[in-house]
Structure 1
Amino acid sequence: MTAAVYAARKRMNAVLVTKEVGGQVMWTMDIENYMGYQFITGPELIAKFEEQVRQFPLKIKYEEVNRLIVKDDGTFTVVSAEREYHSKTVIIASGKRPKRLGVPGEEEFAGRGVSYCATCDGPLFAGKNVAVIGGGNSALQAAIELSQVADKVYLVARNNYNADPIVVEKLKKSNNIVELSGDTKGIQGSQSVEKLIIASLDSREETDLPVQGVFVEIGLMPNSEYCDGVVKLNDGGEIVTDCRTRTKIPGLFAAGDVTNGPDKQIVIAAGDGAKAALVAYEYLLHKRPHCG
């Protein structure tokens, strides 16, 4: 959305093609490090972003992109399920999505107790027992958020927490979060989730946790499949860019969490989007070849 605003301000003929508005920010309840807001929720911040985008005469198409083609003349074709778009430049800013556990019952109970968004689905589990799987910032924040509505929250981590100290401190202050160490082996139930099965890391002994909800927070994977084989990806599937958001392909830029940038923060992603639009404008203005 930031790239779209900057492109519109430069009077570029741009179209924003997106499956949805908001991405990961919509899953975040408490944001305390985005400049200008001492505290704001993710949905509130995205509403402000969207309001600003709609101030410009920008075309927005709600479609999922499934293929990117680089043509022989150096232009691009972006293919969605509905149509094709032809352009001289492309900014890829498709972000990331939650990783799956890959255990029995996960797919079966998705939407029936298995969730990947505590902010979205947490209120549905008021007064119930839930489990959060993961040990990073997102997992701990999800456990803290859920502790305010759920009766009991099991936080299941395989390794030591990989989270900011301030988040760990907040976690320790809660009196209804039970911290456990183990591997997730499966999710079971009848019509909806009824228990989570975990195994001890040492003895491998299995334990059944009586829960009605399982929140998976084990990391993210980039939405880059549609450009695999077109642009260089690292081992994690992230698009490789230089410090000016340029890829190895002239006219193709990438911004935010879909790239190999070292820090995944909202303010950095927004900055990347602004930078990408400005660099794309410069590219169109001068059509100079570059080294990515």
Structure 2
Amino acid sequence: MALDTEIKEQLAQYLELLENNIVLKASVGEDENSQKVLELVEEITSMSSKISMEKVQLEKTPSFAVDRPDGVSGVVFAGLPLGHEFTSLVLALLQVSGRAPKVDDKVIKQIQSINKDLHFETYVSLTCHNCPDVVQALNIMSVVNPRISHTMIEGGMFKEEVEAKGIMAVPTVMLNGEEFSSGRMTIEQILEKAAGPADASEFEDKDPYDVLVIGGGPAGASAAIYAARKGIRTGLVAETFGGQVLETLGIENVIGTPYTEGPKLMAQVEAHVNEYPVDIMKSQRTAKLEKKELVEVTLENGAVLKSKTAILATGARWRNVGVPGEKEFKNKGVAYCPHCDGPLFEGKDVAVIGGGNSGIEAAIDLAGIVKHVTVLEFMPELKADQVLQERLYSLPNVTVKKNVQTKEITGTDKVNGITYADRETGEEVHVEVQGVFVLIGLVPNTDWLGDTLDRTKMGEIIVDKHGATSVPGVFAAGDCTDSAYKQIIISMGSGATAALGAFDYMIRHT
């Protein structure tokens, strides 16, 4: 598998950074896929004097391990780590050679403290933009701790194995032969699930903040930057840095940036936040907010963080359609990310629920992969932009059903169909499909707040023009609020507004 000129030039630059010798151990046969993997390994080997190659027999063929000359690293790629996984390959080469991974020392110590054997396998597709984070996290864990190993398995080269295990969503991670997780996870979340949560006592001794931001998406990051630039003590607590934007592939409406992708954008945003003295606490979920002398935020681990002001930027999550079969067949044919999971439905029939921009973009993308797409829209007309509708209707393998209500997703061990009803006649129709993609909008992540502050009937936090909520000293920004439009650029602006509002409040009241 010869690398194209641009990728080869990029790789050559990275290979200059190798710190010590490494050996690529290839397990290949005579089949076409093996030859592709062998060609890739040989090409990489030829590009640096610090890389050598051996032919070995590994657990999976075709595959190759990235090892040190004096031992194994535990990092194996089964299939071709190209597409979105090219960065995973580059980082593995560098880290096995001795280059330190860019993670907190606290995380490194957590990994090193694991004293049991953990063998992870991650099934990926090369179009999945969620997969690299998981692959790279597990590779780091393998490099740091000799009792941990990880194999990335590219589904396109191991279709029979994917079918046999019933894998219908990526990334799917197996641990010691049992399913461990499905979907995007940070290294902190993987560690918590595999080895148990970090000690909550590390949060208890933290001094009160001037501003505590809850949420790590565009609104939360913007708020943290604006607050920190005021020279005040700023903290940020988030389950996942990046938020909902990590699920977005192509982004073309961030002014000044004609095109970017969600993970790339939020990596740049996180790097920007790290330019300032913001105390970032990842992989933490909030459970309660109280206004006492200070604002007190209780985490799910029981720790309490205190601050003069707080900014709620908890974002939103995909809305469930709420019909029988959705929960039962999640990751068994029910999916929410067409970019990630679409390739697993190649040549099959699928349904897309939702006629807004997200749903129609998904239908267009899927139409290029699957046999047929049926779009189900609740309203009498599609809500997507006209340009998207025109493109959709030009596709020969798409059927659009408007003014219909989804009633049930059917299946046995996986999805085999969907039932909808015509809203005018009440007539029910069952369509045989192997996949259902749900894209019907967002729900704010505000359930944990209860009746602490004023929210709309949809659960959105009500804010004024300064970002202030009904609780003095508590502000909110982004998709968790009652803002009229949910856009990345609007969330960033509202985060800045909330930070400035919180700073003004603190100056007036302290």
Give the alignment's TM-score, normalised by structure 1.
0.91
User: Any conservation in 1 of the 2:350–2:434 contact (CA below 8 Å)?
Assistant: yes
| Paired residue type of 1:281 | F
Equivalent of residue 360 in structure 2, options 128, 135, 140? 140
Cα distance, 1:246 vs structure 2: 1.0
d(CA) in 1 for partners of 2:392 and 2:228?
42
Cα distance, 1:151 vs structure 2: 2.4
Between structure 1 and structure 2, the one with the greater Rg is 2
Equivalent of residue 261 in structure 1, options 483, 486, 499? 483
| Paired residue type of 2:434 | Q
| Paired residue type of 2:358 | S
2:219 paired with 1:219: no
d(CA) in 2 for partners of 1:48 and 1:275?
21
Partner of residue 383, structure 2? 162
d(CA) in 2 for partners of 1:179 and 1:247?
42
User: Any conservation in 1 of the 2:234–2:277 contact (CA below 8 Å)?
Assistant: no
After superposition, the CA RMSD in angstroms is: 1.8
| Paired residue type of 2:299 | S
d(CA) in 1 for partners of 2:448 and 2:265?
28
Runs of 4+ in 1 over 3 A off after TM superposition: none
d(CA) in 2 for partners of 1:249 and 1:255?
14
d(CA) in 2 for partners of 1:134 and 1:56?
40
Partner of residue 324, structure 2? 104
Query: For residues 26 and 116 of structure 1, do their structure 2 counterparts lie closer, same or farther at Cα, with a shift above 3 Å needed?
Result: same
| Paired residue type of 1:11 | G
| Paired residue type of 1:69 | E
Out of 257-266 and 194-203, give the one that drifted further.
194-203
| Paired residue type of 1:96 | A
Deviations 1:233-280 (A, max 9, x none): 112111111111111222110001111111111100011111111221
2:299 paired with 1:80: yes
| Paired residue type of 1:80 | L
d(CA) in 1 for partners of 2:264 and 2:345?
22
d(CA) in 1 for partners of 2:495 and 2:339?
25
Q: Which runs of 5+ in 1 are unaligned?
A: none
Equivalent of residue 251 in structure 1, options 473, 492, 500? 473
Deviations 1:66-98 (A, max 9, x none): 211111x2x111111122111111100111112
User: Any conservation in 1 of the 2:288–2:299 contact (CA below 8 Å)?
Assistant: yes
SS of the aligned residue for 1:86 comes to strand
Cα distance, 1:63 vs structure 2: 0.8
2:279 paired with 1:67: no
User: Any conservation in 1 of the 2:245–2:266 contact (CA below 8 Å)?
Assistant: yes
Query: For residues 169 and 42 of structure 1, do their structure 2 counterparts lie closer, same or farther at Cα, with a shift above 3 Å needed?
Result: farther
Identity %: 41
User: Any conservation in 2 of the 1:251–1:280 contact (CA below 8 Å)?
Assistant: yes
SS of the aligned residue for 1:50 comes to helix
d(CA) in 1 for partners of 2:399 and 2:295?
51
Out of 197-206 and 16-25, give the one that drifted further.
197-206
Partner of residue 54, structure 1? 274
Cα distance, 1:48 vs structure 2: 1.8
Partner of residue 277, structure 1? 499
Partner of residue 373, structure 2? 153
Deviations 1:92-137 (A, max 9, x none): 0111112212211111011211122223333332332211101222
| Paired residue type of 2:487 | Q
SS of the aligned residue for 1:245 comes to coil
Partner of residue 167, structure 2? none
Cα distance, 1:28 vs structure 2: 2.1
User: Any conservation in 2 of the 1:27–1:120 contact (CA below 8 Å)?
Assistant: no
Deviations 1:198-227 (A, max 9, x none): 222333332222222111112221111122
| Paired residue type of 1:78 | V
User: Any conservation in 2 of the 1:63–1:81 contact (CA below 8 Å)?
Assistant: yes
| Paired residue type of 1:176 | N
2:340 paired with 1:117: no
Partner of residue 210, structure 2? none
Greater relative contact order (Cα < 8 A, sep 6+): 1
d(CA) in 2 for partners of 1:22 and 1:28?
11
SS of the aligned residue for 2:387 comes to helix
User: Any conservation in 2 of the 1:97–1:221 contact (CA below 8 Å)?
Assistant: yes
SS of the aligned residue for 2:226 comes to helix
Query: For residues 49 and 124 of structure 1, do their structure 2 counterparts lie closer, same or farther at Cα, with a shift above 3 Å needed?
Result: farther
Equivalent of residue 35 in structure 1, options 255, 258, 279? 255
Partner of residue 429, structure 2? 207
Query: For residues 69 and 141 of structure 1, do their structure 2 counterparts lie closer, same or farther at Cα, with a shift above 3 Å needed?
Result: same
2:474 paired with 1:287: no
| Paired residue type of 1:167 | L
Q: Which runs of 5+ in 2 are unaligned?
A: 1-220
| Paired residue type of 1:150 | V
Give the alignment's TM-score, normalised by structure 2.
0.54
d(CA) in 2 for partners of 1:169 and 1:45?
29
